[in-house]
A = this chain, B = another copy of it.
């Protein structure tokens, strides 16, 4: 049974050769680059060969809200043919050096219409993205900041190769912006987890020390039982 994800990767890996054989343009990005023009609608769709990008929104009042991360083997943004106002306040930024295959909407449309299993993959990707957003809108919204943090950390840890002793490479700023919390409030929640021996904190990273104790705090939507 599938749990919410904040990190997307490899969900289009089976199509890599197909993408390479289809009309595209190879593009490179450097750390901190934005993957498309600010304020513009999404004109290109990327298949990521290498690197990780972060997708976030800038709110009128200055807050930054991190939505998701996208790594090798995935496609971003999701293919569609509409023009949404909100997309113009969304930013995608390279966290590492990146290499992508860039498709225009029309090029992607060609592939989408001629390759049914790619179309299925696009739809399944959308379903997973909806799931991540639903998790936040219908679930995290009603939780305290402490519980929201526990859920987030557990989901991240569960997606690593060694959940029991996972190292999560996030600054506290990043975690706060993922959870729509103030940095101060986030620090307080981390302090509690540290005092209880559940995590260890470090500059720019965070270690899971006692995954079971963490899981005991999480809500059922987070746990795969």
User: Which A residues form the contact surface with B (CB < 8 A)?
Assistant: 1-4, 57, 59-61, 63, 65, 67, 78-87, 89-90, 109, 112-113, 116, 119-120, 122-124, 126-131, 133-139, 141-142, 180, 219-221, 224
Contact = CB atoms under 8 A, between A and B. Distances in A.
B137 A137 contact: yes
Given A3-B84, A86-B221, A89-B138, 15 more contacts: A1-B85, A2-B85, A59-B139, A65-B138, A78-B130, A79-B123, A81-B120, A81-B123, A84-B128, A86-B134, A87-B131, A112-B119, A112-B123, A130-B130, A142-B180
A117 to B, nearest CB: 8
14 contacts: A1-B85, A57-B134, A63-B142, A78-B123, A80-B126, A80-B127, A81-B120, A85-B224, A86-B131, A112-B120, A112-B123, A130-B130, A130-B133, A137-B137
Contacts of A112: 116, 119-120, 123
| Integer count of this chain's copies in the complex | 2
Nearest to A220: B60
Given A78-B130, A126-B80, A138 B57 contact: yes
Interface centre among A61, A63, A137, A219 (most CB of B within 10 A): A137
Contacts of A129: 130
A193 to B, nearest CB: 21
A172 to B, nearest CB: 19
Contact of A83 (B1, B78, B84): B1
Contacts of A224: 85
